[in-house]
Structure 1
């Protein structure tokens, strides 16, 4: 008996009669030795593991039977039956996995839609317009703004950009009743272990929150030049955002007097 690769690419036996058949005695790779293996993928005959590997490398053959290819009934055996059964099992598992994935995706999308609608509703109650960025965008993923049902307040993600310094800092959830001046002063407060930050904000610290200008870019202008709202430090965040359009979360520019 000689060997043959089985349905999974493993060695199985080939009959001596087949090995001695005219025209197929020798290995089709080295062409010197009698063949011992037959590739289930392309039926090429080889004499050793080395020749089998060389065949796969040179031809790109996977060495596995095409599980969906036609097999004559006269050649259909137990190995084919097991292979077909496994194929059906794998197909059923893939279908079930796809169904679960679709369900999870649908649930996540429903939750996102509900959150967007709720934010828009709460914004309208505050005389402002809130817009959601496209799904998957950086702003959509970063935004941590939400409605606190217990406090009945919006908690905003607010980015503070200190113009001319290259420094930005973010409040992940800033209470809408917080005064802008108080929130800014918290970021300018000296803290140990932050020498680099203090160096970047030195001019802002010396000027003091009351002498800094707070700007919010207008999102509804149609001309080419940017325009900004000037925000009052003594206003709460809720009052500062009233009658304005915000996409996801506000970015407030902090500007030194000399830069105006």
Structure 2
């Protein structure tokens, strides 16, 4: 093995004998013989260590004997006078690869969850007051539609939470909004306000005629649950005779509560009862 400016370089036994005897190779000043077998003229040059070989057999023998990977070290230093076009293009390709890996790592970096300490003061107050009332209040990221629509606020003087409430009636297009509902208000009173004819809400009253005719006794309201487990139920039935605050105890609310309203015949329990009683009636 001989030492060069680029590090140790393996020599074939035949080449070492010629070097010891001071003889030149077949090519005069430059040895053109395979450095592995020392017989045939070389055809290949190892990208990693520069050793010259004549065939695939010699390439494999060289790797087994020296443990060379055959892959050029793209970070190895080379003086300017030894840089050729191949090295220049290889370096440019290496820099492009580094940039691509950096960009991929930057894009795939997980976004840290929003900490409560980073929330504005009024949102911290809302979350704290909701927690005092047994409600787990979650906020979406800034810019999301539901976040922008949220008009819930806390009245410090009255110690009251005023929730934005959204109602969705089955088979009725669109949502019906209450901008700020006192959490001590009985839920049936809030719902009844949508079922009562008002000059400023005639179209709304017309859409809800089926519910108006049925009356509160035939209406069921549900709160979609923020599921934590696969086996968890999707809806929680509300007690219209209780206050809004009482109905939200132990629940998770994302920004503001959304209630689903159905006629009693459409409730899951009654529908299941009809299916079970059907065969017996026959």
The equivalent residue for 2:156 is 149
Matched, 1:238 2:245: yes
Aligned residues: CA RMSD: 2.2
Q: For 1:194 and 1:175, how far apart are their aligned partners in 2?
A: 21
Q: TM-score, normalised by structure 1?
A: 0.54
Match of 2:210 among 199, 203, 206: 203
Match of 1:162 among 169, 173, 185: 169
Would the alpha carbon gap of residues 175 and 194 (structure 1) be closer, same or farther in structure 2, given more than 3 Å must change? closer
The answer to whether the 8 A contact 1:181-1:210 is kept is no
Specify the SS of the correspondent of 1:253. strand
Q: Structure 2: give runs of 5+ residues left out of the alignment.
A: 1-116, 268-282
Give the CA deviation at 1:195. 4.5
Give the CA deviation at 1:180. 0.5
- Aligned residue runs from structure 1 range 77-88, under 5 A: none
Give the CA deviation at 1:196. 3.4
Would the alpha carbon gap of residues 131 and 259 (structure 1) be closer, same or farther in structure 2, given more than 3 Å must change? same
The equivalent residue for 2:143 is 136
The equivalent residue for 1:171 is 178
Match of 2:262 among 228, 231, 255: 255
List 4+ stretches of structure 1 deviating above 6 A.
Answer: none
Q: For 1:196 and 1:225, how far apart are their aligned partners in 2?
A: 37
Larger Rg: 2
Q: For 2:247 and 2:134, how far apart are their aligned partners in 1?
A: 11
CA deviations 1:124-176 (Å, max 9, x no partner) are: 11112111111111111110001011211000000011111114211111000
Give the CA deviation at 1:191. 2.1
- Aligned residue pairs: how many? 152
Q: For 1:117 and 1:236, how far apart are their aligned partners in 2?
A: 24
Q: For 2:233 and 2:133, how far apart are their aligned partners in 1?
A: 25
Q: For 2:243 and 2:232, how far apart are their aligned partners in 1?
A: 28
- Aligned residue runs from structure 1 range 40-189, under 5 A: 113-189=120-196
Specify the SS of the correspondent of 2:120. helix
The answer to whether the 8 A contact 1:128-1:244 is kept is yes
